[in-house]
Structure formats: structure tokens, C-alpha cells
Amino acid sequence: MTAVDVLVIGGGPAGLESAYSLANNGYDVAVLEKEKNICGHLNQAHSLFPNFQNASEVRSAMIDKMTHPKISIHNDTEAIRIKRDIDKWGVETGSGKEFMAPALLLATGFKSFDPKYKEELGYGIYDNVITTTQFEAMCQKGSIVSPHGQKVKRIAFLNCVGSRDEKVGNHYCSRVCCINAVKQSIEAKKVLPEADIYCFYMDIRMAGQFYEELYRKSQEVYNVNYIRGRISEVSPTIDKRLHVKCEDTLSQTPMKITFDILVLMTGIEASLGTVALGQQLNISGEYNFAKSLSLHMADNYSSHKGLFLAGTCKRPLTLPEAVADARSAAGEIKNYLKTLKQ
Amino acid sequence: MKFHPFVIPFIAGVVFLLILIVFRLKQWLKGLDRKQHFFVKQNFLSLKTLYAIVEVFRESLLHFKIYRKNPVLGYMHMSLAFGWFMLIVFGKVKSVLYAGSFFEPMWLSIFFNFFVTSNEPYPYAAVMTFLMDFFLLIVLSGLLIAFVKRIYSRLVGMKKTTKHILIDRIALVALWGIFPLRLFAEASSSALYENGGFLTAGVAQMFSENFASIVELPLWWAYSLSLSIFFFTLPFSRYMHIPAEVVMIFLKKWGVKTNEHHSGFTNIQLHACAKCGICIDACQLDFAASQKNVQSAYFIGDARYNKLTEDVVNNCLMCGRCHEACPVGIELTMIRQQYRNKKEMPGKLYYNYVDLNGYHANVDIIYYAGCMTHLTPGIIISMKKIFQAAGMSYWFMDEEKGVCCGRPLRQQGFVQQAKDLVHKNLRMIHGANAKLLVTSCPICYVSFKEEYALQIPLMHHTEFIESLIDDKKISLESKAITAVYHDPCELGRNAQIYDAPRNVLKHLNLKTSKCEKNNGLCCGSSLSNAVLDLDHQIKVRDNALNVLLEKNPDVLVTACPMCKKAFTHGHKVAVMDIAEVVAKHLNEVKTKKQLSEKPEMITFAK
Ligand code: SF4
Ligand code: SF4
Ligand code: SF4
């Protein structure tokens, strides 16, 4: 049994940032991370939008912060059961360990939509249909190649895969994939200046600082083609490239283009941990994201005393938003712990 | 002559009813189209008429079909219809025996016990009196069930019973009055003239002579009036189903078929609906998705009284469950289709950009995946693998370019546009000179079968795979996987393919489900319902999933790309098309057969 001041479930950017902030305020914090490594989805990023900062810089800064003496990191530790005593939260983990603290922070984050549920896009059937995460890994390596060894002449990005799609049950916008597609199409152009890049969208949503500028730049400087229309069907060509069918809804023309790689901009869904713990704690809201007490007034609070929420376990957020939310959660926890002492 | 003024309402009712039925019959028959007329003329004087009479006896009187579905309900219908029929028959026999002539006044048999007292003996009087009472008892027992059913429909195994309009209610009250009134009228006469049987005389015990003499005439009047009201309202109420069903049975036996055009035969069927409500219980839109007033019983009623709304016509999955359940055998989905068909041609076809300019010659098989299968590429890949393993040459007709088979358009009523597509496809299919057309989509299958005058055989891939296994062209590894097979509506009820998939899946541990074969459920994604929103489609889907997954199979197998997609989105179980299962469990082919060389593309002359 480990007793601390604050227990953080989830060692992604949000969990780590709040842990650091709380530790700086003198609290003992334990971070429970189910994976081998901390930093969550950031581990899969090569560069960050909108300024192309190297993700590894951000990662090392985060990992540095975790050397704080008041922080203990527990990898490979999945929170399975949460118990509540008076003013105390207890957590049992999959490996049988137990933790206890007066305050508990849920930072269980998101998972990417599994594109196998949209079979028409051919993910898992044609190996040159990949996800945005796999494409990021290619960028990391600096080589964008087709699995069949052909020279990559044309790449398609498809937005809103698993988002804004009533068929799969997700009506909401994941908010980050539009700008991420802009970023990735520029990355693609940087590696393969000769390649044609197409981006298929329903709406281009550029609501962040510098987003619109980047979108413009992608067209003016990098010649990325934006086509308003969803891809309806993907089929293989004889030489194992991809035939993509869609309609350009602006000019109302049906089109069929051949691509070497199709990148699916998969949306954000509540992670398995968010779903499981949210249901256990009875705080599951829309689409199984964790529900805060009040969006405008108590967004880091849950309906339980001493249980706080931070980051993308609540809804799709960009990295800076998630980190800022984590700091705000730390502030609320600090206040809460003070009132407990009195 | 035996006469009393109270028989007048009865006579008026009978005459009115006969005139109206003859008039209606003429109208209906006039409304038949040429082909239907031809069949009537052709078979009018054939053995088929005899079969029809037998069928009328079985279904209109004894109600075998309802009995098989639900014995209590069957008994109810049988006792009312058959019981009444026997009362009429024996009533007639009795009065003929009494009068010694066949041409006694027609009311004599109906009001016999008023006119004939025990002082006037006639042959077989005792037997006749017994039989009449016996059948009256049968009718009354049916009436009791009908009465209870109105109040508590679950007794007869039905969850829903139809709502009735005013004229139906009047007719219903009159009908329910007839037999109790007859019982009491005969009982009062029996009290006075001692001419009752075991039932009427028994009831007469409760009547003092004095009381009987007061109530006798009013009771006979009331009996005659209730008959009269029933006969006057019958042609406008649901009870018109009695004569209409008889007409329908004759026409069907003579070979008259429902086609996609509204005709006199449609009108006959609209009237043949008994509003029994059995179809409502069969409809998933009712019990799973709380869509009210759109089920066939309502649809038929609305069509009959000319108050159909677009929503009722269109809010239907065309799953055919009601058609399967209807004891009268009304062609419910086809009739709904008739009402969907657009009278004029709204808008031009939008497919002109696809230039279909040729076909492949000299292949064994044409493979047509279908639009929906293109959204489930896993099925296509599996089919390619199966063709390869069986060493068959094929031309994948809609691989790159292709148009829809036309059925979804047709189901929405765009008949003309659908025909354009049929024409385009037929040109390519027949150009290729192949031996067989295989499709992966049950929707296309039904379309090819019913709307294309194909000159080559057609198979859905379930049948095709079955034949490959039978011919030992492919074989499957046995697997200890538990599976449940879902019958797609189009492949099952519409195409009657039930055994092929089950034979193919023998290599798995195939479990049965509660709703199988012709009782299969709809996945909710039916293309023929363009008005049901996704939330309600999901309710239909989840209802089907719950039934299919009762035995917790490892995999749910289906044979339709739409069903596959729908069930996959339910996130409850692994869902596979039968072609995917087969491709995955194919035994390694020992000698790799050489595929015939890819044949040349032939272009149509411009
Ligand atoms: S951010 Fe863009 S791509 Fe992502 S869900 Fe929203 S609209 Fe679609
Ligand atoms: S359509 Fe058939 S099942 Fe439905 S109410 Fe009419 S007779 Fe009964
Ligand atoms: S076809 Fe199916 S959905 Fe339509 S009324 Fe009949 S049972 Fe209901």
C-alpha cells in the first residue's frame, strides 16, 4: 500500500503536467501509467502542429520534470478498481498493488478510432492504407515508402475518419485532425517534393492560432490539393496501388484517382481506461468521455468529492489545451487539499 | 306462407349485400390487367377451380394457417367461420326437409324456430335440432374468445391487436350480437313451443312462459336487425375480407400474380385483409423501433380507404416478415412497392459519366460484386481467393467501372431509372458470353433474378461456394469455432436460399438461433427504408443482434454486405461474410491450378 497526497491515473502529457505542478507545490504524487513508457500518444508524434516543433524536445522536457523527488512514476501499472473511503481514494492495480490518496486525478486520455470499422476504406485489407499515427512514424524515419516498394507519387489524406460520422456513432468533431492533416501533408512534401498530395475533407476547421496561416501556406507553398468530399470506396489496382472513389462536392464531379498511400486521419475516442473507469465511477458522459461537474465553472471537478479530471479523458483537445487543463486541475487539487487540512 | 314483418330487415340486408358484392366483383375483375385476365380465362374451367374450392374450405372456413401459427386464434376463426357456415348449411337442409321442397322462402331457415313448432314434425327433426344447437355452441365459444381477445390479446398469443374505425366497430357489435340474440330468441321460442335442442332448451329453462311470450318477438326482431346491420355494414368494413379472400383464393389458384402495377387484384387483396393484426407482431419496426401505424395491417387499411400517407408507404424495411406471417397470404411487400412506384419519371439518371464500353469474352464466370460489396472489400478479396483456389476464370464486371443493379432505385419507386441500369448491365452480361453470373450481394441477386431476363444461370456466392464444395473444387478445414448464421432478408425470404449457407458452414460448430430462415430478422440497414433515421435503424439492429447472440457464438456469419456492416457497427461480436469465412478456412490446394489467361477486353461499337 502506497499512500501519497495525490494519485494521478494516466502518464500522458496531462497527467505528467499536473503531477509536476503539484509536486512543485510540495505534494507527494504517484503517477500510474499502464504502458511501459510515459508520455502517452506524444511518443508516436514526430513533429507538433502548428509550429513543427520536434516532439522529442517536448518529450524530454516532460521526462526531465519527472525526476522531481516528490513524484513517483509507476509504469506497467493499470488502475483496475477504484474504491472510496471517507476522504480517501484507494486504487487497486492489475499487478495487485494498492495506492491511497485523499485526491485522485483521472487523466486517462483518448484512443484513436479503429478504422477497421469503416471497411470501405480498406484499412487492414490493403496495406498501403495507413493511419495518421503510422504516417507520423514514417516521417520520424524520414522515409515515406509504399509497402510494395513502388515510388510514392501520390498520397491522399482523408479527414474525419470516425469523427462526424453517424454511421459509426460518433457525431462530434475531433478538432485536431484537420490541422494535423495540414501538418502531415507539408511533412510529406518536405520528404517527397515531387509527390502530389491530396487532402479530402468535409469542412476544414482551422480554429487555432496560426492554423489558418499554415493551411494557406500548404496550398501556396506546398501545392497541397484540397478536395471537398469524402472518399466512398477504395479498391486495389493491378499493381497494388489504390483506386479511390469520391465526389468533389464543390464541382459536383465524381472522381476516381490512383494513390500510392492513403492516410486516414482517425478521430479521437475515449480510451479504454477512460471508458472503464468512467463507468465504474459513474461519471461517463457523452460518447463515454468523462463528464466534468460544470463545463464553464468546474471543469476539473467530477461529481465526486476529491476526484478530479484533466485532459482528453473529457473531450478531444490539442496538446497545449490538454497541458493547460492539467495545470488548472493541479490548482484545483491544491485548493481542495488545503480545505481538507483545515 | 310463413312470414312475419321482422324478417324484412334481414331480407333487405341480404339483398343489399348480394348486389354490392356482385358490383364489387365486377369492378375488381374489370381492374385486372391483360395478363391477369388471360390467366382467369385460361384456367376458369380447369382442375384448378376444384383446388381453389378445397383451399377456400381449408383457409376461409377452417383457417388451417392461423391454426398452425396459433391454435387458440385458429380455433377462434374456425369456430366463427366454419360454425356459421354449418349453421347456414344445416339450417337450409332442415328447412328443405321441413318444407319438402328446395324452394322454401330463404328466411325460413334463418328464423326456423320461430315459424316451426314441435307440433309440426319433419324428417330427422331431432338430429337437425341437435346439430343446429351444436354448431351454435361452437360459434358462441369462438365469440367468447374473440371477446376476450379484444380485452386481453395475449390470451391468443398476440401482443397487438388492430385499432378499428367506426364502421368496423358497428359491424363488430352487430356480429357479436347475432349469435347470442339467436340463442335467446330460439330459447324463448323453445320455452313456448318446445322446439329447442340441448342448448336452446337448456337456456329456455330460465324463461318462464310468461316472460318468454313477452320477449320472444323483440328478440327475433333484434336478431333480424343485427343480421341486417351486419350485412349492410359488411361491404364497407373489414368483414369484406370474407368474400374478398374467397375471390383472391380463386384468382391465385388460376395463376393470377401480383406484379409491380396496381390492379384490380391489388384491390381484392386490400379487401381480403382481415385486420387480424398478426403482421403487426411480426414487424421489427413495431416491437424494436416503436414505429407505430406503418405496419402492413395499417398500410393495407389506409390504402383501402384512400388515406395513405408517404410516411406509411415509405417507412418499411421491405423485410417481408409480415408477408411471411400473413395467414391470408396477401402479397404485402409487392403491394407496398406498387404504391411506391412513381407515376412519372422524376429527373434524369445521373450515371451517364460512367462509360461502360465493353466486356470480357470467353470466361466461365462473370463476377458482379455489387455496390454494397464494394464497401466491404474484405468480401471481394475473399471471393478472388476462392476463384483462384477453384481455378476458375472470371471477369470481375464491376471491378473498376460499373453501375448499380437497379434494385435500390426500384424499391424507392424509380422504375424507369432502374430499367436504364438494367439495360446497361444486361448489355455487358450477355456480351461476355459466360456460363454463369455470380454476385456477392443478395440485393443484386434478387434484382438479377426478378428484373433481368437473364439468359445465363445466376448464383449468389453462397450457392456458388456450395457448388464448389460439392464438386470438390475446394475444401474447408474443420474449425472448433462456434458460429451463428444470420439470414439476410433478401437472400432468405426474397430468394429462398436457406440451405446453401448452412451446408457451406458445416465445417464450423454452427448453432441455431431463435429467429432463423423465414423467421429471420432484419439488420435494420435495409436500403428500402429511406425514411427511418439511424437511431431507429440501430434499435432494429440491436434487437436482431440480441437474438442472434443468445448462444454467444465466436462469430456471426452473414451473406450480405449490408448486414455485415450493420452488425459490425453494433460492436458486439466478430462479424464475417460467408465468403470471408470460406477464404479463411480453405484447405491448401495441393496442385496449384493455372488460371486461364486474362481474356481480352472487347469494346462495344460506338
Ligand atoms: S478536426 Fe477536421 S478532420 Fe477532425 S473531425 Fe473535425 S472536421 Fe473532421
Ligand atoms: S395483412 Fe394479413 S396479417 Fe396483416 S392484418 Fe391483414 S390479414 Fe392479418
Ligand atoms: S416488410 Fe418488414 S418492416 Fe415492412 S411492415 Fe412488413 S414486417 Fe414491417
Does the pLDDT value for residue A262 go beyond 80?
A: yes
| CA–centroid distance, residue B161 to ligand 2 (Å) | 11
Does the pLDDT value for residue B604 go beyond 90?
A: no
* Rounded-to-integer distance, Cα B391 and Cα B422, Å: 30
Q: What is the pLDDT of residue B593?
A: 54
| CA–centroid distance, residue A21 to ligand 2 (Å) | 71
Rounded alpha-carbon distances, angstroms, from residue B533 to A254, B316, B547: 26, 12, 22
Q: Are residues B13 and B129 in the same domain?
A: yes
Handedness of CA B425, B428, B433, B434 (dihedral sign): negative
Helix, strand, coil percent content, chain B, rounded in steps of 5 = 60, 5, 35
Backbone angles phi, psi at A86, to 5 degrees: -60, 125
Determine, yes or no, domain membership for B591: no
Question: Between vectors from CA B392 to CA B467 and to CA B442, what angle results, nearest 5°?
Answer: 50
Q: Are residues B70 and B210 in the same domain?
A: yes
* pLDDT, tens only, B22-72: 999 999 999 999 999 999 999 999 999 999 999 999 999 999 988 888 899
**Which of B375, B399, B534 comes nearest A119 by C-beta?**
B375
Q: What is the pLDDT of residue B286?
A: 95
**Which of A169, A233, A253 comes nearest B374 by C-beta?**
A233
Q: Which domain does A127 fall in, by range?
A: 115-267
Q: Are the beta carbons of B405 and B421 closer than 8 angstroms?
A: yes
Contacts of B380 in chain A (CB under 8 A): 235
Higher-scoring residue by pLDDT: B602, A238? A238
Closest to B63 measured CA to CA, from B333, B331, B334, B326: B326
**Which of B374, B565, B569 comes nearest A235 by C-beta?**
B374
Q: What is the pLDDT of residue B595?
A: 52
**Which of A168, A234, A254 comes nearest B377 by C-beta?**
A234
- Substitution candidate for ligand 1 out of A171, A175, A215 with most atoms within 8 A of CB: A175
Mutation site, A120, A239, A275, interface B, largest B CB count within 10 A: A120
* Separation in Å, CA of B571 to nearest CA in chain A: 9
Q: Both ends of chain A: CA-CA distance in Å?
A: 26
Q: Are residues A104 and A173 in the same domain?
A: no
Q: Are residues B496 and B395 in the same domain?
A: no
Q: Are residues A252 and A309 in the same domain?
A: no
Determine, yes or no, domain membership for B123: yes
CATH number (domain holding residue B550):
3.40.50
Nearest CA to ligand 2 atom 2: B326
Conformational region of residue B164, where left means phi above 0, alpha means psi within -120 to 50, and beta covers everything else:
beta
Q: What is the pLDDT of residue B437?
A: 96
Determine whether the shortest distance from the Cβ of B326 to ligand 3 is under 6 A. Answer: no
Flag the least confident range among A207-216, B423-432, B471-480. B423-432
Helical segments of A233-298, H only? 272-280
Q: Are residues A235 and A153 in the same domain?
A: yes
| CA–centroid distance, residue B238 to ligand 2 (Å) | 11
The verdict on a CB contact (< 8 Å) between A234 and B569 is: no
Domain tally for chain A? Answer: 2
Higher-scoring residue by pLDDT: A95, A179? A179
| CA–centroid distance, residue B276 to ligand 3 (Å) | 15
Q: Which atom of ligand 3 is nearest to the CA of B320?
A: 1
| CA–centroid distance, residue A163 to ligand 1 (Å) | 7
From A267, A299, A331, the end of a domain falls on A267
Contacts of A114 in chain B (CB under 8 A): none
Annotate B308-364 with three-state secondary structure: CCHHHHHCCCCCCHHHHHCCCCCCHHHHHHHHHCCCCCCCCCCCCCCCCCEEECCCC
* Rounded-to-integer distance, Cα B71 and Cα B78, Å: 10
Q: Are residues A104 and A120 in the same domain?
A: no
3-state secondary structure of A201: strand
**Which ligand is nearest the CA of B163, by number?**
2
Q: Are residues B435 and B455 in the same domain?
A: yes
Q: Are residues A171 and A292 in the same domain?
A: no
Q: Which atom of ligand 2 is nearest to the CA of B274?
A: 7
Backbone angles phi, psi at A229, to 5 degrees: 165, 150
Predicted structure pTM score: 0.85
Contacts of A163 (CB under 8 A, 6+ apart): A113, A170, A172, A173, A174, A177, A267, A268
Q: What is the pLDDT of residue B346?
A: 65
- Substitution candidate for ligand 3 out of B332, B487, B531, B532 with most atoms within 8 A of CB: B332
* Rounded-to-integer distance, Cα A182 and Cα A49, Å: 9
Q: What is the pLDDT of residue B160?
A: 65
CATH number (domain holding residue B325):
1.10.1060.10
* pLDDT, tens only, B83-138: 999 999 999 999 999 988 888 888 899 999 999 887 788 888 889 999 999 999 99
Contacts of A162 (CB under 8 A, 6+ apart): A112, A113, A114, A115, A117, A118, A168, A170, A174, A266, A267, A269
* pLDDT, tens only, A306-330: 999 999 999 999 999 999 999 999 9
From A205, A234, A267, the end of a domain falls on A267
Determine, yes or no, domain membership for B348: no
Q: Are residues B232 and B292 in the same domain?
A: no
**Which ligand is nearest the CA of A265, by number?**
1
Residues in chain B: 606
CATH number (domain holding residue A165):
3.50.50.60
The verdict on a CB contact (< 8 Å) between B375 and A166 is: no
| CA–centroid distance, residue B294 to ligand 2 (Å) | 13
User: Which residue from A minimizes the CA distance to B576?
Assistant: A119
Q: Are residues B237 and B270 in the same domain?
A: no
Q: Would you list which residues of chain A are within 8 Å, Cβ to Cβ, of chain B? A: 117, 119-120, 122, 125-126, 166-169, 232-235, 243, 253-254, 256
* Separation in Å, CA of B380 to nearest CA in chain A: 9
Predicted confidence band of residue B211 (pLDDT cuts 50, 70, 90): very high
Residues in chain A: 342
Q: Are residues B436 and B303 in the same domain?
A: no
Q: What is the pLDDT of residue A342?
A: 79
Contacts of B576 in chain A (CB under 8 A): none
Mean per-residue pLDDT for A89-101?
A: 94
* Rounded-to-integer distance, Cα A48 and Cα A145, Å: 21
Predicted confidence band of residue B552 (pLDDT cuts 50, 70, 90): very high
Closest to B462 measured CA to CA, from B481, B480, B482, B486: B486
The cell numbers describing B195, all together, are 322446439
Mean per-residue pLDDT for B184-209?
A: 91
3-state secondary structure of B146: helix
Contacts of B523 (CB under 8 A, 6+ apart): B486, B488, B540, B541, B544, B558, B560, B562, B563, B566, B567
The verdict on a CB contact (< 8 Å) between A122 and B377 is: yes
**Which of B381, B399, B569 comes nearest A168 by C-beta?**
B569
The verdict on a CB contact (< 8 Å) between B568 and A234 is: no
Q: Which domain does B274 fall in, by range?
A: 250-338
Q: Are residues A261 and A276 in the same domain?
A: no
B355 close contact with A: CB closer than 8 A: no
Q: What is the pLDDT of residue B68?
A: 87
Q: Which atom of ligand 1 is nearest to the CA of A175?
A: 1
Pairing of strands A29-32, A71-74: parallel
From B427, B446, B469, the end of a domain falls on B469
Sheet with strand A2-3: strands edge to edge: A2-3, A98-101, A88-93, A79-85
Q: Are residues B121 and B264 in the same domain?
A: no
Q: Are residues A123 and A250 in the same domain?
A: yes
User: Which residue from B minimizes the CA distance to A242?
Assistant: B400
Q: Are residues B198 and B311 in the same domain?
A: no
Contacts of B568 in chain A (CB under 8 A): 117, 119
Determine, yes or no, domain membership for B345: no
* Rounded-to-integer distance, Cα B414 and Cα A322, Å: 52
Q: Are residues A160 and A249 in the same domain?
A: yes
Q: Are the beta carbons of B81 and B61 closer than 8 angstroms?
A: yes
* pLDDT, tens only, A149-177: 889 999 999 999 999 998 898 999 999 99
Closest to A200 measured CA to CA, from A160, A153, A164, A235: A160
Q: Are residues A263 and A275 in the same domain?
A: no
Rounded alpha-carbon distances, angstroms, from residue A122 to A145, A197, A199, B374, B568: 18, 19, 17, 10, 15
Give helix B442-451 / helix B415-432 axis angle, nearest 10°: 90
Q: Which of residues 253-282 of B touch A (CB under 8 A)?
A: none
Q: What is the pLDDT of residue B353?
A: 61
Q: Are residues B145 and B197 in the same domain?
A: yes
Predicted confidence band of residue A300 (pLDDT cuts 50, 70, 90): very high
Q: Are residues B295 and B221 in the same domain?
A: no
Does the pLDDT value for residue A226 go beyond 70?
A: yes
Predicted confidence band of residue B590 (pLDDT cuts 50, 70, 90): low
Q: Are the beta carbons of B340 and B412 closer than 8 angstroms?
A: yes
Q: Are residues B522 and B437 in the same domain?
A: no
The 8-class DSSP code of residue B292 comes to -
DSSP assignments along A61-122, one per residue = HHHHHTT-TTEEEETT--EEEEEEETTEEEEEETTS-EEEESEEEE---EEE--GGG-GGG-
The cell numbers describing A83, all together, are 474504491
Q: What is the pLDDT of residue A132?
A: 98
Burial B454-488 (b: 16+ CB within 10 A, else e): eeeebbbbbbbbbebbeeebbebeeeebebbbbbb
Pairing of strands B601-603, A253-259: unpaired
Q: Are residues A138 and A40 in the same domain?
A: no
Q: Are the beta carbons of A25 and A334 closer than 8 angstroms?
A: yes
Contacts of A99 (CB under 8 A, 6+ apart): A1, A2, A3, A4, A7, A30, A32, A90, A91, A93
From A239, A267, A295, the end of a domain falls on A267
* pLDDT, tens only, A9-60: 999 999 999 999 999 999 999 999 999 999 999 999 999 999 999 999 999 9
Helical segments of B414-460, H only? 415-432, 442-451
Mean per-residue pLDDT for B496-517?
A: 95
Q: What is the pLDDT of residue A279?
A: 97
Determine, yes or no, domain membership for B569: yes
The 8-class DSSP code of residue A39 comes to S
- Residues with beta carbon inside 6 Å of ligand 1? A 159-160, 163-164, 173-175, 177-178, 203, 205, 265, 267
Contacts of B389 (CB under 8 A, 6+ apart): B473, B474, B586, B589
Q: Are residues A76 and A207 in the same domain?
A: no
Determine whether the shortest distance from the Cβ of B131 to ligand 3 is under 6 A. Answer: no
Q: What is the pLDDT of residue B344?
A: 74
Q: Are residues A238 and A119 in the same domain?
A: yes
Q: What is the pLDDT of residue B352?
A: 64
Q: Are the beta carbons of B178 and B142 closer than 8 angstroms?
A: no
Domain tally for chain B? Answer: 4
Nearest CA to ligand 2 atom 6: B273
B574 close contact with A: CB closer than 8 A: no
Determine, yes or no, domain membership for B357: no
Closest to B139 measured CA to CA, from B193, B194, B80, B85: B80
